[in-house]
């Protein structure tokens, strides 16, 4: 298993993985209704965004996409059958480290508001906290290591960014 930066040829696998998950399910049609298609996804992959994949012998089995401009983890999904192997944790580490190294002092992500979904426990386990000020689906936030809530050492905050 190898964690590496995504390349354009990996993008179709993002859709295969995203539409194969059993929780927080979305079809290709639902993704398209939110403006996420094979044609629009490459536009996100500029100097302000990065994606990493878990590559198993040439097959992409998990991915994470992060946006520096939004200080946000946009998506992280693991192909069914490859869960609970530490892939999500490794991918999240890469994305978090990149966002913090780019000056983001607080990063965020949004997930399903059903407390029974595994994602909610997964993000808590990785040190993410629920943003009590958010109304809607569950929004998790994470501060850069060594930064205190309400203050900080510079960088950008995610508070001014919406979904």
Give me the domains of the chain, ranges plus CATH numbers.
Answer: 2-160 (3.40.630.30)
- Res 79: pLDDT: 95
| Residue-wise DSSP of 79-136 | -TTSTTSSHHHHHHHHHHHHHHHTTBSEEEEEE-S-TTSHHHHHHHHTT-EE-TT--S
- Res 40: pLDDT: 76
Give Cβ neighbours of residue 104 (< 8 Å, ≥ 6 apart).
68, 71, 144, 155, 156, 158
d(CA 158, CA 134): 12
Instruction: Calculate Rg over the CA atoms of the chain.
Output: 15
Number of other CB atoms surrounding residue 103 within 10 Å: 13
d(CA 101, CA 96): 8
- Res 135: pLDDT: 64
- Res 161: pLDDT: 35
pTM: 0.81
Give Cβ neighbours of residue 31 (< 8 Å, ≥ 6 apart).
15, 18, 19, 37
d(CA 159, CA 72): 11
Number of other CB atoms surrounding residue 102 within 10 Å: 16
Q: What is the mean pLDDT of each run of 10 residues along the chain (163 residues)?
A: 93 90 79 77 80 95 95 94 93 97 95 79 91 76 75 39 35
- Res 141: pLDDT: 93
Query: With 0-12 CB in 10 A as exposed, 13-18 as middle and 19+ as buried, what is 56?
Result: middle
3-state secondary structure of 8: helix
């Amino acid at each position: 298993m190898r964690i590496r930066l995504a390349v354009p040829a990996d993008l179709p696998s993002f859709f295969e993985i995203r539409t194969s998950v059993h929780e927080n399910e979305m079809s290709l049609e639902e993704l398209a209704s939110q403006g996420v298609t094979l044609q629009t996804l490459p536009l996100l992959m500029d100097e302000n965004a990065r994606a990493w994949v878990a590559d198993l012998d040439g097959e992409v089995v998990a991915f994470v996409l992060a946006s520096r401009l939004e200080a946000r983890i946009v998506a992280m999904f693991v192909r069914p059958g490859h869960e609970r192997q530490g892939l999500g944790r490794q991918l999240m580490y890469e994305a978090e480290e990149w966002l913090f190294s780019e000056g983001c002092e607080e990063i965020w992500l949004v997930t399903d508001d059903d407390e029974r979904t595994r994602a909610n426990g997964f993000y808590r386990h990785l040190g993410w906290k629920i943003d009590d000020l958010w109304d809607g689906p569950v929004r998790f936030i994470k501060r850069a290591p060594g930064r205190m809530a309400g203050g900080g050492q510079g960088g950008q905050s995610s508070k001014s960014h919406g979904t």
